[in-house]
Structure 1
Amino acid sequence: MKEPKMEAPARQDAAWRRWVERPLVICGAALVFVLMGLSFSDALLRSLFNMPIFGANDYAQILLSFAVAISMPLCVISGRLIAIDTITDMLPERAQIFLDWLTTLMGVVILAYLAWRAYSNALEAASFGESTLLLQLPFGPSYYAVAAGSALSAILLLVERLVR
């Protein structure tokens, strides 16, 4: 059976998505597996030998912030954002297009604001030496990760709207 011929723009479109998505998926999967292994090992050692992993909650807290930062752009690029369009589907097409653009721009502004706040919080956390309670792991990298994830999400959201 012969496959349908893809147009050049569609191939380029898929290529840039894969280029962005693949490293995020690999890093996100690795983080989730590390978190899963840490939680499982901590629970097993706690239950069987009454010897939990020292600082497991601190490690989990930091790793989880990185997992969230990675998942935000993945949600945008895979089109998994929440959209309730029951009422807007009844509107004329021009109104739907306007509302889609308005929603996208509001999302970009909110994500950009989140990126800016996370970045400024990272600078404050670094200057104050903010860290986890037990292991004293710095919070700065977590804030930087959330800032980068939010900024990438804002860019991807705008690019997705422009490509459509």
Structure 2
Amino acid sequence: MTKTIDTGVREGGTGASPAHHLTRSGIFLGSIGGVLLLAMMGLTVCDVIGRYLFNSPIKGASELTEILLCAVIFVGLGAVSLAEDHVTVDLLTEKMPLAVQPLRQAVTGVLSGAILVVISWRLWIYADQIGGYGGSTTNLSIPIAPLGYFCAICAFIGGVITAFLPLERFIKRLKQ
């Protein structure tokens, strides 16, 4: 973590830390992600032990790992959006005047949120297509469409959060 996040001072000097957004929903999403990650780790450990010590790997372990990884990423998207901990590159933005920073954050938040909503829309369409032909995993025959719908919903929620928080902060700053 950077010093600005540790001290609660956000980029642009607003002094508003996103930690207040990490209430029950952020803790809930983080907990789900942690449980999924723990399950993925346990599955991998058991598969490796079974494969190398007993010459009997877990059937479909790679498919389950892929599904769990996908779920961890998209559940984590909501938690990262709530904490506003997205990866950013500030080659040009750090040279901008402080007065412009809140507007820049609002604009980039809305654009990033819109992109996530478009990704969500396309994921939903893709999940419909997969569900239409009954797509499933090779070894365990797990249907893939529900995972696609889950990812679409998580991406949509992440997009709304990503757009809303910086925009809300900008509007509050305008009212001051």
CA–CA distance in structure 2, aligned partners of residues 67 and 50 of structure 1 = 29
Counterpart selection for 1:146 from 146, 151, 165: 151
CA–CA distance in structure 1, aligned partners of residues 91 and 74 of structure 2 = 30
Give the CA deviation at 1:17. Answer: 3.0
* Cross-structure match for 1:104: 109
CA–CA distance in structure 2, aligned partners of residues 64 and 85 of structure 1 = 29
Give matches, 1:3-152, under 5 Å: 14=20, 17-152=22-157
Tell me, yes or no, if the aligned pair for 1:31 and 1:63 is still in contact at 8 Å.
Answer: yes
| Partner-residue secondary structure (3-state), 1:59 | helix
Q: Which runs of 5+ in 2 are unaligned?
A: 1-15, 170-176
Paired residue total: 152
Deviations 1:11-46 (A, max 9, x none): xx83x5312112111111110111001000000010
Q: Provide the TM-score with structure 2 as the length reference.
A: 0.79
Give the CA deviation at 1:91. Answer: 2.0
CA–CA distance in structure 2, aligned partners of residues 82 and 34 of structure 1 = 26
Letter in 2 for 1:49: F
Q: Which runs of 5+ in 1 are unaligned?
A: 1-9
RMSD over equivalenced CA pairs, Å: 1.8
CA–CA distance in structure 2, aligned partners of residues 31 and 102 of structure 1 = 33
Percent identity of paired positions between Structure 1 and Structure 2: 26
Tell me, yes or no, if the aligned pair for 1:65 and 1:145 is still in contact at 8 Å.
Answer: no
Higher mean displacement: 32-41 or 68-77:
68-77
CA–CA distance in structure 2, aligned partners of residues 49 and 161 of structure 1 = 53
Give the CA deviation at 1:87. Answer: 2.3
Higher mean displacement: 147-156 or 74-83:
74-83
Q: Provide the TM-score with structure 1 as the length reference.
A: 0.84
* Cross-structure match for 2:11: none
CA–CA distance in structure 1, aligned partners of residues 29 and 72 of structure 2 = 10
CA–CA distance in structure 2, aligned partners of residues 63 and 112 of structure 1 = 22
Give the CA deviation at 1:151. Answer: 0.7
Tell me, yes or no, if the aligned pair for 2:109 and 2:164 is still in contact at 8 Å.
Answer: no
* Cross-structure match for 1:5: none
Counterpart selection for 1:159 from 148, 164, 169: 164
CA–CA distance in structure 1, aligned partners of residues 39 and 81 of structure 2 = 24
Give the CA deviation at 1:94. Answer: 4.2
Higher mean displacement: 73-82 or 86-95:
86-95
Tell me, yes or no, if the aligned pair for 2:106 and 2:167 is still in contact at 8 Å.
Answer: no
